[in-house]
């Protein structure tokens, strides 16, 4: 039997505020296989980012357990590469020095880290921008740099929290294709949060739909569209049927 890369088992999480308790997740169970691209969607407040914070070891569950490769680690910190919604590039550092941060933290030698980063720059479309500062980059280029920084953590599992949410429609589609190309070439495991249903279907092997708060797994939808994906698929009946299924689950009129 194949062991999942990540497995959530009956996870519940409640946050305590000043005047009330806020149940974020209730009895959430799902798994992600090695090399799989899984998207997570749901209404605002359904616990999507809480799942990422749990997976990254930033918070602990109240109930349940999270397994990595079939085992419960003493700590989840450092076992995944986490890219939050904002790029969080340091404005006083060049692109190259921004993407080197994870390897600096891991105490990789300057020579080795620089060599590795320079080799990867072309895959992220940044080969002529390594000496530029974030203020000179477009939104799409900033997101590429932020993703490259996450990539260079060396983690085999990446958590991407709405990385394209603030981009215009054309740039978003361009980066969707680019991300899929990089993912297929290097074979990382990806968990990807999005509110965009078309994006959820277009990128994924499976889509996990969360219910309204407290978040529960309402549906797991397998996306049996061929790879490599292309944007013209969005106009095909099979794609439209999958989108409608997800809209129905979310209670959104199509």
Query: Could you tell me which residues come within 8 angstroms of residue 138 by beta carbon, excluding any fewer than 6 positions away?
Result: 171
* CB neighbourhood size of 29 (10 A): 12
Q: Is 1's pLDDT higher than 80?
A: no
Q: Is 28's pLDDT higher than 60?
A: yes
Model confidence over 33-51: pLDDT tens digits? 999 999 999 988 899 999 9
Q: Which CATH number fits domain 1-74+191-254: 3.40.190.10, 3.40.50.970, 3.40.50.300, 3.40.50.1970?
A: 3.40.50.300
Residue 253's pLDDT band (boundaries 50, 70, 90)?
low
Residue 217's pLDDT band (boundaries 50, 70, 90)?
very high
Would the CA dihedral through 98, 172, 222, 43 be positive or negative? positive
DSSP designation for 57: T
Residue 149's pLDDT band (boundaries 50, 70, 90)?
very high
Q: Is 130's pLDDT higher than 90?
A: yes
């Amino acid at each position: 039997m194949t062991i999942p890369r990540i497995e959530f088992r009956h996870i519940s999480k409640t946050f305590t505020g000043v005047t009330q308790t806020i149940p974020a997740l209730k009895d959430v169970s799902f798994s992600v296989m090695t090399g799989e691209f899984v998207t997570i969607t749901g209404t605002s407040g359904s616990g999507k980012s809480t799942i990422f914070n749990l997976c990254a070891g930033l918070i602990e569950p109240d109930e349940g357990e999270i397994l990595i490769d079939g085992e419960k680690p003493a700590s989840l910190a450092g076992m995944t590469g986490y890219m939050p919604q904002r790029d969080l590039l340091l404005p006083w550092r060049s692109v190259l020095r921004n993407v080197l941060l994870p390897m600096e933290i891991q105490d990789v030698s300057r020579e080795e880290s620089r060599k590795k980063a320079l080799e990867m720059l072309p895959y992220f479309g940044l080969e002529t921008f390594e000496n530029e500062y974030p203020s000179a980059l477009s939104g799409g280029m900033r997101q590429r740099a932020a993703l490259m920084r996450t990539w260079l953590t060396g983690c085999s599992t990446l958590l991407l929290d709405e990385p394209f949410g603030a981009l215009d429609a054309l740039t978003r589609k361009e980066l969707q294709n680019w991300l899929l190309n990089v993912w297929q070439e290097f074979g990382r495991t990806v968990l990807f949060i999005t509110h965009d249903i078309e994006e959820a279907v277009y990128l994924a092997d499976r889509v996990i739909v969360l219910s309204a708060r407290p978040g529960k797994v309402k549906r797991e939808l397998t996306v049996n569209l061929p790879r490599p994906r292309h944007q013209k698929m969005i106009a095909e009946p099979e794609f439209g049927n999958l989108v409608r299924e997800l809209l129905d689950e979310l209670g959104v009129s199509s």
